[in-house]
Amino acid sequence: MHFDPNTGEKIMDPGDEVQATAENVVNQAQEGAAQVQADAAQANNEAAQAAAAQAQAAQNAQFQQAPQFQQAPQFQQVPTDTNNIKKGLPIGAVIGIVVAIVAVIGVIVFFATRGLGAKVSLLNTITNAYDGEFLSDASKNLGYKPFGDMTVTVEMEMDDIEVTTSFASEASSHTRSVYSTVTYDGFTIDATAYIDEKQILASCPFLGDYLFMYDYSTDKNNGAIADLLDEADLEVSDLNAMIAFLNDNSGSIEKFYDKSVAYFTECVASLDFKKTGNKETFTVNGDKVECKEYQAVLSEELVAEWISGYQKIVEDFVEANSDLVETFEDLSGEDLDIEEAFEDLLDELDGDEEATISIFTKGKITAAIRLTDSGEDQYYEIQLQGGDYLAQNVEVIFNDDGDEETLLTISGKTKGDVQTTTIETEDENFSFEYSYNRKTGEFEMTMEEYGSEVYACEATITFDKNSYTMDFESLSSYGYEVDFDKYTITFSTKAEIVKPKGDTFDLGNADEDEFQDLAEDIIDELQDNDDLMELMEELDLDYYLSSLF
């Protein structure tokens, strides 16, 4: 597809990328919470840093189309060479500002599609920025949601070894399972672990026909495990509470996530983009396009309000789980002082600095996004130069009083069913290239740092409505080729729970004698396993195994 530089109209059908993008923005906005704290504490210009932090969540969402993919991880990979940092902007803000400019794309997409007022709808032109990107289009129908149903399965074969591991999670019942099987030279070992809102179950037929069970819904477990906990100044109820919390039985972690998402989307929505009357010309699809500027101000005072508001959310979460927090504090030996942590963060802000975010639009296209530090003749800018989709070719520049320097480029091309994207920094310290064939599913990726290959792979990606599979043909890391006959990763939004079976052994109520008997039974089981003993001899490990008996 292309965009008419005069009318801004798309030549090809727009598709439904808007909805997928908006959902991903919501799903990833939680990351903004931690990023605000980290960036604000590390830079002198906290307004610029907070802009980078808030927008990081949207940037991740814009490019992350599925849990195993990131459409454009490049902006997190820019080398932080301090020799390239310009005077007038704090060191910690340089890369963050670049991220922030890019990330505004996702922020505006979200609000434009939610109809949050005319001031934002003026900027809804960028909702088609990735419509037409083949990987994005292919992953639209996965339906992945945080805390939703999912199954991830990894299968690998190499030489005489076969390994399969599958993790599954069912949201409604807070049930999860992990199943793994290893086969070597015809000898197989498998194990299953399972947890629901009441109990933990585990089995490993290799060790005997046992179903190890721990019921954490009751505090009446009074076996040897209670004695062990007592030695650590803990009670059974403490252990049970930690398990229930980590399994999120009450949904407290999910609720905290949802509140954080809602809060930060509300914060970003409060940015008031207004028409400035300024017009500038940019190149999109090879044509000169005159664009209007819309601008919002992000002050340190506003950032302080955002941080204070988030402090209340965190404090409510900690208070709701106060008993558990005390247990973790006892185990770690450190106190969790939320108020002091936020006070230290707020002390870094003096309230006098501000940054401006400018978006330049024409019709249905957005040509550039700019972040300017107050009182400086310097700014960072992302220029969306178009292609078969608006963000296929992008240039990130630094402008110092009219003197421009390119920091990063994204160059994309489409040839038939194949799209290739190359991302590289101007200093050539980092490059990332991938190609995807939407017809055959062929995918190739290479990442280099300082002229040396870091990662490379060739795979075939098969998409279904609710799943995708990556079947690797080659995989290397830092020049080392991984030798395998088969390596596949499958992600599904369906929960394929595996529940172990066997004769129940109650871990919560078994005494020391019963544990001793269990150990003896397991040793006998191993000694009577002729296949195991032959395998151990073949591997010259029989001596070590016999030393255990």
Band the pLDDT of 383: cuts 50, 70, 90: very high
Band the pLDDT of 64: cuts 50, 70, 90: very low
**Interior CA angle at 123 toward 122 and 129, to 5°?**
140
Whether the pLDDT of residue 206 is over 70: the answer is yes
Over residues 149-165, mean pLDDT: 93
* Domain termination site, one of 367, 387, 407: 387
Q: Would you say 188 and 182 are in contact if contact means Cβ atoms under 8 Å apart?
A: yes
Task: Please report, rounded to a whole number, the percentage of residues in the chain having pLDDT higher than 70.
Answer: 74
Q: Would you say 416 and 436 are in contact if contact means Cβ atoms under 8 Å apart?
A: no
Q: Would you say 387 and 403 are in contact if contact means Cβ atoms under 8 Å apart?
A: no
How much is the pLDDT for 409? 93
How much is the pLDDT for 60? 36
To the nearest whole number, what is the mean pLDDT of the chain? 76
Own/partner pairs, 538-544, CB within 8 angstroms, 24+ separation: 538/185
Band the pLDDT of 203: cuts 50, 70, 90: very high
How much is the pLDDT for 429? 84
pLDDT tens figures, 22-40: 333 223 333 333 333 333 3
How much is the pLDDT for 467? 93
Over residues 200-223, mean pLDDT: 92
How many angstroms separate the CA atoms of 302 and 322, rounded?
30
Residue 473 vs residue 77, higher pLDDT: 473
Sole residue written with tokens 């963050």? 96
How much is the pLDDT for 461? 95
How much is the pLDDT for 127? 52
Domain of residue 22 covers 17-143+252-387
Over residues 360-374, mean pLDDT: 84
Does the residue 139 lie in any domain?
yes
Does the residue 548 lie in any domain?
yes
Contacts of residue 544, defined as CB under 8 A and 6 or more positions apart, other chains included, come to none
Domain count, the chain: 2
Phi/psi at 266 (5° precision): -65, -40
Residue 470 vs residue 126, higher pLDDT: 470
Residue 158: CB atoms within 10 A of its CB come to 13
Does the residue 171 lie in any domain?
no
Whether the pLDDT of residue 376 is over 90: the answer is no
* Domain termination site, one of 331, 354, 387: 387
Whether the pLDDT of residue 498 is over 80: the answer is yes
Q: Would you say 52 and 100 are in contact if contact means Cβ atoms under 8 Å apart?
A: yes
Q: Distance of CA 138 to CAs 88, 142, 177, 464, Å?
A: 43, 9, 28, 9
* Domain termination site, one of 352, 387, 422: 387
Tell how strand 378-386 and strand 210-215 pair up.
unpaired
525 shares a domain with 381: no
Whether the pLDDT of residue 200 is over 70: the answer is yes
- Return the minimum-mean-pLDDT range out of 264-273, 362-371, 393-402: 264-273
Q: CA Rg, the chain, in Å?
A: 27
Does the residue 135 lie in any domain?
yes
Whether the pLDDT of residue 191 is over 80: the answer is yes
Does the residue 332 lie in any domain?
yes
How much is the pLDDT for 412? 94
How many angstroms separate the CA atoms of 254 and 334, rounded?
25
Does the residue 148 lie in any domain?
no
How much is the pLDDT for 46? 36
> Between the ranges 85-89, 123-127, 373-377, 405-409, where is the mean pLDDT highest?
405-409
How much is the pLDDT for 245? 92
520 shares a domain with 380: no
Residue 190 vs residue 347, higher pLDDT: 190
Whether the pLDDT of residue 422 is over 50: the answer is yes
Does the residue 499 lie in any domain?
no
How many angstroms separate the CA atoms of 164 and 157, rounded?
9
Does the residue 93 lie in any domain?
yes
Residue 40 vs residue 326, higher pLDDT: 326
Band the pLDDT of 529: cuts 50, 70, 90: confident
Q: Is 382 exposed, middle or buried (0-12, 13-18, 19+ CB in 10 A)?
A: buried
Q: Is 98 exposed, middle or buried (0-12, 13-18, 19+ CB in 10 A)?
A: buried
How much is the pLDDT for 17? 34
- pTM of the complete model: 0.72
Whether the pLDDT of residue 356 is over 80: the answer is yes
Residue 486: CB atoms within 10 A of its CB come to 13
